[in-house]
Structure 1
Amino acid sequence: MLKIKFLYPYWGSEHLTPTSFIDLAISNGFDGIEINIPNKPVFETDFYNSLNTVRLANPNFVCVLQQVFEIKNETPQDYLIKVLNRLENMVHYKPNFINSHTGKDHYSFSENCKIIDAIEEFALKSKTPIYHEIHRGRFTFHSATTLQYLEVFPQLKLVGDLSHWWVVSESMLQDQEEIINKVIPHIHHIHARVGFEQAPQVNNPFAPEWNKHLHSCLDFWQRIIRSHDKNRQMAITPEFGPFPYMPQSPFDQKPMANQHDLNITMKAFLEQHLTF
């Protein structure tokens, strides 16, 4: 039986201390966390200590780190140096794996391949698994072009956030079955967020008007799970985020739903509807 671990996202909880964030995840029944650690020395030290304290009590606690940078005008070589330095700093935390936002959509195929190759070499040498997230703006921004990279790197592991491809293709990918079938075996981690053809996140996936999109995502996630060895472990992060992912009402800028509640409800929904 495939073991599913549910992770709570740090995205949207930036106001919390590391200990409070980890406590929030545990108190809501999550098996671990996924976090892009802020570049703040005090936070980094506190997070390291809090994480190790939790691991002493629960060695199975899962920690996934993210490699994500703000957009900057930089050469592929400068970008790669920055990424490798970031990854080197992450090894210190002994993550279960790293979720890398890799490359850029406007870098050439050759440039992105050099970046991927260097990251994969780092993963091998550091013995730290690194998965590459499907995301707009990265080398994985589009379904068909991603296949070209999988041909060069057949062992590449991806983080499945298919909401981005929905936006790029302005469709629910219903005309891309052949492509999706080739990509699914490469997905080793799921970001369980419901988007639609014009945005990566609906206001509330459990509203009846989004039922079609919710169950389309559920079908994708189930297919990913079925493609994996039943004796292995896989992580799912319900990943509904704050603004600008979360739609706001005009003028008062109030969120249309509670992000925290959506992530907890999505976890319960998946536990009920997915077959592991």
Structure 2
Amino acid sequence: MKLLILRTVWSGSSDLDELIEQTITAGFNGIEGPIPKDESQRRALRQHLRDRQLAFVAEATTGTDPTSERDWWIPRGDRTLDDHLSDLKWTVDQAAEMGALFVSTMCGYDAWSWQQNVDFFGRALELERVSGVTISFETHRSRSLFNPWITRDLLQHFPAMKLTCDFSHWCVVCERLIDTEWSILELCAQRAMHIHCRVGYAQHAQVTDPRAPEYATALAAHERWWNLIWQAQAQQGMTQVTMTPEFLWDGYMQTLPFTGMPVADVWEITCWMAERQRQQFSHVFSSKA
């Protein structure tokens, strides 16, 4: 089984050439991010991906106001279920041309009823079936999969549903490391398509610095959960798996009062986490990797 480590576009420069060069220099296997709406930007990204032989996971964020300068990723209460599906479909429709491995989506709304969730995911999975493009649904705050229990219920309701597992969000929502929900973690591992390997803890979705000894317990817990996923993926016969160290600046990285100075370097942490997980994976699957 081969591990592809991707970097999120949100951790780098808005200049595509600079972003790609930094990604390659740091040894990442590809990138994860949204497909540009502008046709010329899409063409430029597609050319870079092909020329540099980079893997690509297409990111779909649904039900938002992309023109908002603040909290644009938060779903808006006035966006309908059809709006969410339309946003997802746009990315799915572009994914094959971009050479995406699959679509990972931050979708739905935490305020939806059970029936609204059933309607949405039922139609999303039908979109996956008709399009032939794999869709992986992310566990994320403010979204339908914002806690372990609604996720468990939806996974049981939809046997074909696959996950992008970002357990850092659940640590905040549950206000604890989620070993307490081991049976749900096992179910998630069986459905895991992709991992976002950010480390969260009870009060924040991103530790200040996962290298710090005060966060050793949180790091060990997340690595326990990621290993559970890798083991399940290996048992399912997957030959290639993906992981994105998704450490971010905007609101995730803590800052000093008054000055706004970040207390650690996101890119340095991202590169450290990438290398650590390569080593972790190699240790677990040295005979298979």
Quick one: which amino acid aligns to residue 260 of structure 1?
W
Counterpart in the other structure of 2:58: 65
1:31-50: CA deviation from partner (whole Å, max 9, x where unpaired): 11111234344432321222
Residue 131 in 1 paired to residue 136 in 2? yes
Cα distance in 2 between the residues matched to 1:158 and 1:127: 17
Counterpart in the other structure of 2:180: 175
Pairing partner for 2:214 from 189, 209, 213: 209
Cα distance in 2 between the residues matched to 1:150 and 1:251: 44
SS at match of 1:174: helix
Residue 112 in 1 paired to residue 117 in 2? yes
Structure 1: gaps (5+ residues): none
SS at match of 2:112: coil
Q: CA, structure 1 residues 64+93, in 2 after alignment: closer, same or farther (shift >3 Å)?
A: same
- RMSD, aligned CA: 1.7
Residue 241 in 1 paired to residue 248 in 2? yes
Quick one: which amino acid aligns to residue 78 of structure 1?
D
Q: Which segment drifts farther, 190-199 or 177-186?
A: 177-186
Quick one: which amino acid aligns to residue 168 of structure 1?
V
Shift of 1:104: 1.0
1:157-185: CA deviation from partner (whole Å, max 9, x where unpaired): 10110011111100101321222222221
Counterpart in the other structure of 1:37: 35
Quick one: which amino acid aligns to residue 3 of structure 1?
K
The correspondence of residues 255-270 of structure 1 with structure 2, limited to 5 A, is 255-270=262-277
Quick one: which amino acid aligns to residue 9 of structure 1?
T
Shift of 1:258: 0.8
Identity %: 28
Q: Please give the TM-score of this superposition, normalised by the length of structure 2.
A: 0.87
Structure 2: gaps (5+ residues): 65-74
Q: Please give the TM-score of this superposition, normalised by the length of structure 1.
A: 0.91
Counterpart in the other structure of 2:2: 3
Q: Which segment drifts farther, 193-202 or 45-54?
A: 45-54
SS at match of 1:197: coil
Residue 273 in 1 paired to residue 271 in 2? no
Counterpart in the other structure of 1:84: 89
Cα distance in 2 between the residues matched to 1:39 and 1:242: 23
Cα distance in 1 between the residues matched to 2:128 and 2:146: 22
Q: Which segment drifts farther, 192-201 or 172-181?
A: 172-181
Q: CA, structure 1 residues 269+86, in 2 after alignment: closer, same or farther (shift >3 Å)?
A: closer
